[in-house]
Structure 1
Amino acid sequence: MLFINILYGQVKFEKGYYLTKNGEKVEGLIMNEEWFLPPEFILFKNSIDSKEIKIESEKFTEFSIYNQLKYKWFEINVYNTKLTEEDSRKPKYEAKKLLFNKLVEGETSFYEYVGSETVKTFLVEKNNGEFLQLINFNVVLPNEQIVLYSTFNRELGAFLNCRNQFSNRINKVKYDKKQLIDLIVDFNTCKNSDYKFFNLNQKKIIISIIPKFGLTYNRLKKENIGRGFSATSSGLGYTIANELEFSLPFNKRKWSFLLDINYSEYNSSIDSAPFNPEGIEVSETSLLLGLGIRHYFLLDDSQLFMTIKYQYPLTFNREVIFSQYPDATDFESKPVMNFGVGIRLFERVYTELGVNLSSEQSGSLDINFKSFNTLLTIGYSIF
């Protein structure tokens, strides 16, 4: 476990750089936290073996993890969204420096700010350093009426010059991240400029469909303490499942939500048991709906993971045939907790060893029935 933790800690440091306020570019390793909000600091190493350094965000002008993300400081106008009688119809503002997240890089680049200092704000920058803050937000008038204050279409039309028909496109674009990204991409194409994306797919939930098949080892303990009866049967079975994995867009996608449906079947028998010299036979089928979470430990070409699932029985049929007791068929089905560990190879192949812990009480006999199941499954992500 210590070895895993060491690897887990190391893999989060990735090649990147930051620019000091003097313009010096310092290259090294930066801990990739895949931030939702602009980071207040970064953890930096000069090399993999060196000690990590905490660098406050005010100490740099920009930083980047190569081919993944970039953040840069800009001084923009932060507007007061509630007008007073003295404001006429133009909001007051103050200048503030905010750390923007770069989404498109080219001759013209596109940035986004999402944080506590102001409403979501977009910004366009030319490669000569000139930039334009895109203004579009609701303001509250003195009479409590809400109106839209928007100047970005007009200002963007003056800021971006390519062809006449492109100006018509700018006039129609909405203050929407996807539309604006498409606009900037098309503008770079119009100017014959290369471009690349940063940090876009990382903010989306990725859904994978994972069919699974496996073997199960099942133990069922039957016990009546008052009569001194106790017997345990075991047997192999099989399981078929279909799992939906919702990969969450933070912390290098180490966390996922799971939704699955699982069908299992097995038979077992014992030749002899107390009060049942001719043995006991067990057959069981179940259909479980599961909801859970998964956590990955990232390695180079594979990922170890742990899974916890709560499984609710949609259908549950168990029959226990005794040689002396009446047959037991009336079981109270209860939710099952599943714990698993496994490995994912090449982003597609899943192998997992899990256990189901459950306990049911028969309604027809004064016997406690406790089950324990071990599962070995293999799956393949088709999306």
Structure 2
Amino acid sequence: MRKYILIITFLFTSSSIFSQINFEKGYIINSSSGKILCFIKNEGWVNSPDKILYKLDMSSDKVFEGDLSNIKEFGFKSNVKYVNRLVNVDLSSNLINKLSKNREPNFVLKQVFLKQLIDGKANLYEYRSSKVTRYFISLSLDEIIPLIYKRYKVNVTQIAENVSFKSQLYENLKCSSGELSTLRKMDYYYKDLMEYVGAYNLCETGENIELIDLNRKNQFLLNVKAGAFLSTMSVDYRASGFTANVNSGKFDNRFSPRFGLELEYMLPFNKNKWSLFVEPSYQSFNSSGVTDLNGTLNSQDINIEYSFVEIPVGVRHYMYLSNKDSRLFFNLAYVVVADFGGELEYSENLNLDIKSRPNLLFGFGYNLNKVSLEFRIATSRNIVSEYSSYSTDYKNIGIVFGYHIL
């Protein structure tokens, strides 16, 4: 167990070494309304930031800090933009066990950086914290209107919704006759709000600028995986009442191919550096060996036929290199196993059915465009878990080749 802790420590220590977040070309507008071109540390914020770090010269070691007291606006060349505004933020909880009986929002006046999602005649903004996500619109630079959505308790068993944001949109952003049918189907969700505000801008002026890609978040990827693994296994027999193994056997090591598909979900923060994945893959291990000669127990021939589908469910962390199309990555996954029959056979008429326990895997690799190559190692797995007197130590290490198809 100690060596696996060391592996995890190595992986995440390496992650912190290689995955430094870069300073990117951008600008700030300071408290004197002066625009300054600079390089901002883009941390891919999940929540709205309250401060930023920036450099005036990329080659300089001097880093400045800007916050709500001295930055009116900042943005990046990549079209990400934050504006500093004093707004009413509804801090009502959306958690069922914390819902209030009050239908009205719990407004608190706050100075915040709002992320601008739409730029046009009508503007759309987003504020995120660890507890709430709120949206705002404006038709001028001065007045920003909080869009109201709140869940509240009617009684112990009934929950209702205050969806005033729909009437707010209708009253403030009305251009064509189709708004009412669209509003009825709308959710308080950035995609729905962006589509509505964008449609209004196009209807009014023919111009609409989206400051984020609607498809950037919630991205799923499909990858084909193939690999070759070296598998090792030993089996131990411990009779009832004995603390030490009475009889042990070791199988010959075997190389075997592995084939599978991986579904990967890119998490919508930290510049796509984190993802979740599931990778069902087929593999087999067919081998033979001999048990030790121990006291009155004779040495026996042993054979194993083991076919299975591993289903790793895990987390992946990417570290981008100087070439924007290449990156290193680390994996950590919990592996569930679906056995396809098979038996562990002793020469003296003893057959053990296969029943695998879950285990863990660790991996690190390199990704270039659509292609990836990964080294992977798995912890020990007991594949005869239904027998109290028998246990196995099945392990494998290998190389996995991946190709992105969707």
Aligned to 2:145: 133
Residue from 100, 107, 112 that aligns with 1:98: 112
Aligned to 2:335: 311
Residue from 217, 222, 227 that aligns with 2:235: 222
TM-score by length of 2: 0.74
Task: Provide closer, same or farther for how the CA distance between residues 258 and 184 of structure 1 changes in structure 2, counting only shifts above 3 A.
Answer: same
Residue from 279, 294, 299 that aligns with 1:260: 279
Q: Distance in 1 between matches of 2:390 and 2:365?
A: 36
Comparing 43-52 with 289-298, greater Cα deviation is found at 43-52
| Larger-Rg structure | 1
Offset at 1:262?
2.2
Does the 8 Å contact 1:284/1:318 carry over to 2? Answer: yes
CA RMSD of aligned residues (A): 3.9
TM-score by length of 1: 0.77
Structure 1 portions without partners, runs of 5+: 82-89, 161-165
Offset at 1:122?
1.5
1:298 counterpart = 2:320: yes
Does the 8 Å contact 1:336/1:357 carry over to 2? Answer: yes
Offset at 1:332?
4.2
Q: Distance in 2 between matches of 1:223 and 1:38?
A: 56
Aligned to 1:238: 257
Offset at 1:22?
0.4
Offset at 1:361?
6.8
Offset at 1:335?
0.9
Q: How does 1:270-289 map to 2 (within 5 A)?
A: 274-275=292-293, 280-289=302-311
Number of residues paired by the alignment? 359
1:183 counterpart = 2:196: yes
**Identity %, equivalent residues:** 23
Q: How does 1:35-50 map to 2 (within 5 A)?
A: 35-49=45-59, 50=61
Comparing 290-299 with 177-186, greater Cα deviation is found at 177-186
Offset at 1:71?
0.7
Q: Distance in 1 between matches of 2:207 and 2:114?
A: 21
Residue from 72, 75, 85 that aligns with 2:83: 72
Residue from 311, 334, 340 that aligns with 2:363: 340
Aligned to 1:122: 136
Deviation track 1:18-55 (CA, whole Å, cap 9, x = no partner) reads 11010112222222222232211112122334233322
Aligned to 1:163: none
1:205 counterpart = 2:218: yes
- What one-letter code is carried by the residue in structure 2 that aligns with 1:375? G
- What one-letter code is carried by the residue in structure 1 that aligns with 2:48? P
Offset at 1:326?
3.8
More strand, by proportion: 1
Q: Distance in 2 between matches of 1:3 and 1:80?
A: 38
1:29 counterpart = 2:50: no
